[in-house]
A and B are shown apart, each in its own frame.
Chain A
Amino acid sequence: MKYIDEYRDGTLARAIATTIASEAVPGRHYQFMEFCGGHTHAVSRYGIEDLLPSNVRMVHGPGCPVCVLPVGRIDDAIALALRPGVTLCTYADLMRVPASGGGSLLKARSAGADIRMVYSTMDAIRIAEDEPGRDVVFFAIGFETTTPATAIAIRLARRKMLRNFSVFCNHVLTPPAIRAVLDVPDDDNADEHTGGVRIDGFVGPAHVSTVIGTTPYVALAKHFRKPVVVAGFEPLDMMQAILMLVRQINDGRHDVENQYIRMVSEAGNLIAQRAIAEVFELRASFEWRGLGELPDSALQLREAYADLDAERRFSITTVSTADNPACECGDVLRGRTKPAECKLFGTVCSPETPMGSCMVSPEGACAAHWAYGRFRNRVARQPVPAAT
């Protein structure tokens, strides 16, 4: 397929890996975080880690929208869906996320709740128009990539004067999450007791950056003195971005560079930004799974659109709920724990029976490792000596 296959050339990928190996300074350890779930998926799917030299490692970041949504907000969505007359519209990847008491949207639907999976916010608008007797709530989640779609739907609902449509807003912002990951002391020997994980640079998100551009990363790169390279999702994009990061580290630079220049501009998508700014404002504080409460890290509907805000319409007060104590999603999201290091991984927790959100979403680090990486570290079985 055009614009896809050429960026998946295995020989080129191996050659760039060899270039990385020759430019990475021996004895120096490079550790880069791929923030975005799409990149986490690509790292696992294409075996990027196996191509890289041993002193260049990738750490998974918190950029998976389903994974960072706290349990309490899933509980809220389930409670909404169980109200008589309410139809909850949701993106499909939220259906199986574990909620309190072993619940999930899928189980709530089995119990009779009217929950419908939609591909786009336009589908939710259509349902509200077709079924005026139902109170249609769109369960809005995601980083800056899905926020414009929600903003357009809210504007459309206002224009069409839809009284039976509202949005349960959980949109979050990328820069505060990067800040939260970096706002811990660096630690070369990070473990569960020290909390920190050393990150030398970031592979910046692809789709988020199409909306916000590359400018928002400049302040972060400068403040934390860490290079950021915005990259595409194809394997050659990743390899090239990692090479760019290695070169920045070697040169002692911490700039924001754009590897994904075919899709991402410095300013981003101004139409999308305007739509977001018109409908949403900063929320004082929002809870993230794995990162805790972060100030100014999420969005809520502006006063002018209060009548379309499900939180006000249904007086939702979120109760913060602890994750399953055995599940290490929180530390996986911070890059402190690798999926296979969690004692639930591959035993009780798998994509069929996920215990935590990182195993539910295909973008989650655990699901990616389960699908593509879990046999990587197996030692080849020694051949049994032939009987004499």
Chain B
Amino acid sequence: MCLAIPIRVEALLADDMARVTLSGISKTVSIALLEDVQVGDYLLIHAGYALTRLDPDEAERTLDLMREAAVPGLAEMQDWRP
């Protein structure tokens, strides 16, 4: 039912539709639930409808927070070998 991953908009089509591509597979999805979708946006698609748009700044900030959360752990893991 859901592809739980952000997918990039390749083209905007008529009737509130957009073409998205993932690993070479192209699909037409509805963007009726979003405003001002642009080519290059990353959308979350659920059962053929885009529910939300990824915020690139927040995505980067989240990664920074993750790296921060990992700092104490990495210090303890210095002896760790994969």
Contacts and interface: CB of A to CB of B under 8 A. Distances in A.
Contacts, number: 140
B15 to A, nearest CB: 10
A261 B52 CA distance: 11
Interface in A184-235: 206-207, 210-211, 233
B2 A263 contact: no
Contacts of A123: 48
B12 interface: no
Contact of B59 (A3, A18, A272): A3
A127 interface: no
Interface stretch (A81-89, A145-153, A164-172): A145-153
Interface range for B? 35 or more
A269 interface: yes
Interface in A11-70: 11-12, 14-22, 38, 65
B80 A14 contact: yes
A122 B65 contact: no
Contacts of B67: 12
A121 B1 CA distance: 12
Contact of B6 (A3, A16, A146, A259): A3
A261 B55 contact: yes
A122 B55 CA distance: 27
Nearest to A145: B46
B70 A149 contact: no
Given A148-B51, A271-B35, A16 B58 contact: no
Contact of B73 (A18, A142, A237, A269): A18
A120 interface: yes
Contacts of A7: 63, 66
A236 B72 CA distance: 16
B1 A6 contact: no
Contacts of B59: 3, 262
A91 B35 contact: no
Given A211-B51, A261-B55, A243 B44 contact: no
B11 interface: no
B25 interface: no
A120 B48 contact: yes
Nearest first, the 5 closest Cβ-Cβ pairs linking A and B are A120-B48, A18-B73, A15-B73, A15-B70, A19-B73
22 contacts: A3-B6, A3-B59, A7-B63, A14-B80, A15-B71, A15-B73, A16-B66, A16-B70, A22-B73, A120-B29, A120-B48, A121-B47, A121-B48, A123-B48, A145-B2, A207-B44, A237-B62, A239-B66, A243-B69, A259-B62, A261-B55, A263-B6
Interface of B: 1-2, 4-6, 8, 22-23, 29-30, 32-35, 42, 44, 46-49, 51-52, 54-56, 58-59, 61-63, 65-67, 69-74, 76-77, 80, 82
Interface of A: 1-4, 6-7, 11-12, 14-22, 38, 65, 91, 93, 119-123, 142, 145-146, 148-149, 152, 206-207, 210-211, 233, 236-237, 239-240, 243, 259, 261-265, 269, 271-272, 275, 363
